[in-house]
Structure 1
Amino acid sequence: MGVIGALTLDQLRVLVAIEEAGSFSAAGRKLRRVQSAISHAIQTLEDTQGLQLFDRSGRTPRFTEAGRVLAAQARQVLRQAEAFERAAQSIAAGLEPELSIALDSFVPTGPVIRALANLQLAFPDLTVTLFTEGIGAAERRVRDGGATLGLCALLPSTAQDLQATALTQVTLAPVVAPTHPLASETRPLTRDILAEHVQLILTDPLQRPGPSFSVVSPRVWRFVDIASRLEFLLAGFGWGTMPHHLVETALESGRLVRLIIDDPAVLPGSIGLFAIHDRRRPLGIGARWLLEELQRQGWFAKP
């Protein structure tokens, strides 16, 4: 029997049962106890708290104002106690107390949201922390133990401490604003032509001078945040390669123009998306379940 100071959880259960059933006798039937046991539990609760919870002046005891307020509080305490017991049982069975996930900014959020919604249904008491990271940061957070799982758009290094699971391919689109000179360029868009213009790239702020993935032009503007880079692309400050799912609406509306570059040696058409975790830290039940759910997700509709 749980005890909270001078309270017991059983006393709170009796109080809530009376409110739900409507009387002492009905609460006794609900809890399968004699009415005298119900009366004793309430009397003890009133004595320990120094409050009158029921008005007994009539034939049937009725809640006082204090009794109704405390019955509502009792219901909340019981719900929290039940959640505590479920969490303790789940953790004892191998469910991690908290699951932290780091997402690269390239990651499509739709499949992740669906997977996390299913995770919540399967493990309603599991606390989840979600980090949205710039380029390189998701892998770094997994390495330093700040996140259990990382979802990143770049293939992790071949270091033996990381386990990588392929999830999908993210289609890339080189884009410019319709007012940019490249949008009206009639020559084939070779590396030399692209190099004549400023390229807007993503960079890792903790690495100098930063990664060189898909960098073609010697003239670059570096961005840590992919949303800010998109704003500058829309404003015509340069050209850049974006995940297609992030610019699809802008392309359809004409706010951006897709550059036709057929040579994959200049710019790749897609990039792999991976789930990574540290081999030295075994995954808990929730993380393993989520990883399998992410693999089941349909990330993109077929073109």
Structure 2
Amino acid sequence: MRLGEPSLDQLRIFLAVEEEGSFGGAARRMGRAVSAISYGIAQMEAQLGVTLFARQGSRKPVLTEAGRGLLAEARAVADRSDALLAKTRSLHQGLESDVSLVLDVMVPGDVTAQVLGEFRTMFPTVSLNLFVEGLGAVVACLLENDAQLAIGGPVIGDHPELERQAIGEIELIPVAAPTHPLASPEIAPGESRKHLQLILSDRSTLTEGREFSVLSPLSWRLGDLGAKHALLKEGIGWGNMPRHMVSGDLARGTLVELDLPEKPGDRYTLSALWRRDQRPGPATSWLIDTIRDTLADCAD
């Protein structure tokens, strides 16, 4: 038997009859005559060679076994068509079809989760590509056109190809395990230089030759902030960490904040960055504003 291919309109009629529970209800919902609804169902049944609804006298149409089996597929096709139309309308209205975002590793995970959860609700048709990088690698994603928007730190100053808007800051504090020698009170000036310092390294070459809050000539460079966190808790060296990331450790006593004479802690300014030749669209602009507001709420 050669099967026909039902049209999208016939699939929508099928779904309307099932959801409304009657041909008359489907007709009212779709603004059609009942005869048009009956004809659409009959045509679909003829093309597929199955009976979709059991219809006896004046009883409401009831899905047959075949109808129940095809319902999910019909709904999936209709949903994909709706998504296609929604994205097309968004493109006509100037909304981005996708956004690539790169975040500095210093951005709190709770902020990221909250903002992206709201983003999914606000812009259901916009695809999101998310990258997480550190230091100059954040800016490198923009310069290499891997991302349209970056939330990055102060390690890269004004760049001729980028626009910058400050949106918040992260407090960095020196920490170590409670058994570390630098955890003792009244540390003498220069004592920190005698101990291994754990430093976040830059995958890019944009900060080559530059150091940030590095005091000790004894250092390990790590490309992952999570690995640095784990080594600090094991008592392997000392280093700066975002306060929000170690607040639980400070409360539990698994890490302590160091009182060093050099005061190596810092305020890490976060900025939204984008290429000057790519003006932020509605979804990108929303991300900038919402990340700024969420960071401010967390600070409060």
Shift of 1:244: 0.9
Shift of 1:155: 4.0
Aligned to 2:201: 203
Equivalent residues of 1:156, 1:164 under 8 A apart: no
Q: Report 1:39-50 matches (<5 A).
A: 39-50=38-49
Aligned to 1:242: 241
Aligned to 2:191: 193
Indicate the percent of aligned positions where both proteins have the same amino acid. 36
Shift of 1:49: 2.0
Deviations 1:206-240 (A, max 9, x none): 44976411111111011000110111111111111
Name the SS for the 1:20 alignment partner. helix
Which one is further off, 93-102 or 42-51?
42-51
Equivalent residues of 1:155, 1:274 under 8 A apart: no
Read off the aligned partner of 2:9 and give its amino acid letter.
Answer: D
> For the residues of structure 2 that align with 1:74 and 1:169, how far apart are their CA atoms?
49
Read off the aligned partner of 2:33 and give its amino acid letter.
Answer: V
Q: Report 1:79-94 matches (<5 A).
A: 79-94=79-94
| Residue 271 (structure 1) aligned to one of 264, 268, 279 | 268
Read off the aligned partner of 1:244 and give its amino acid letter.
Answer: R
Shift of 1:151: 1.2
User: Is residue 220 of structure 2 the alignment partner of residue 221 of structure 1?
Assistant: yes
Read off the aligned partner of 1:81 and give its amino acid letter.
Answer: S
Aligned to 1:10: 9
Shift of 1:262: 5.1
Shift of 1:268: 4.3
Name the SS for the 1:7 alignment partner. coil
> For the residues of structure 2 that align with 1:237 and 1:62, how far apart are their CA atoms?
69
Aligned to 1:183: 183
CA pair 258-9 structure 1, distance change in 2 beyond 3 A: same
Read off the aligned partner of 1:94 and give its amino acid letter.
Answer: G
Consecutive unaligned residues in structure 1, runs of 5 or more: none
Return the TM-score normalized by structure 2: 0.89
Which one is further off, 15-24 or 89-98?
15-24
Equivalent residues of 2:170, 2:270 under 8 A apart: yes
Consecutive unaligned residues in structure 2, runs of 5 or more: none
Read off the aligned partner of 1:15 and give its amino acid letter.
Answer: F
Read off the aligned partner of 2:284 and give its amino acid letter.
Answer: A
Name the SS for the 1:131 alignment partner. strand
Shift of 1:20: 1.8
| Residue 296 (structure 1) aligned to one of 293, 297, 300 | 293
Aligned to 1:259: 258
Shift of 1:185: 5.0
> For the residues of structure 2 that align with 1:151 and 1:99, how far apart are their CA atoms?
13
Shift of 1:65: 0.9
Read off the aligned partner of 1:193 and give its amino acid letter.
Answer: E
Aligned to 2:102: 102
Deviations 1:50-107 (A, max 9, x none): 2222345666554321112223322222222112111110012111111111111111
Read off the aligned partner of 2:14 and give its amino acid letter.
Answer: L
Aligned to 1:35: 34
Equivalent residues of 2:136, 2:156 under 8 A apart: no
Name the SS for the 1:221 alignment partner. strand
> For the residues of structure 1 that align with 2:147 and 2:87, how far apart are their CA atoms?
20
Equivalent residues of 1:151, 1:273 under 8 A apart: yes
Equivalent residues of 1:103, 1:138 under 8 A apart: yes
Name the SS for the 2:182 alignment partner. helix
Equivalent residues of 2:177, 2:255 under 8 A apart: yes
Deviations 1:113-158 (A, max 9, x none): 3333332232122111211213322111111111111112234232
Name the SS for the 1:101 alignment partner. strand
Name the SS for the 1:252 alignment partner. helix
Aligned to 1:78: 78
Which one is further off, 48-57 or 16-25?
48-57
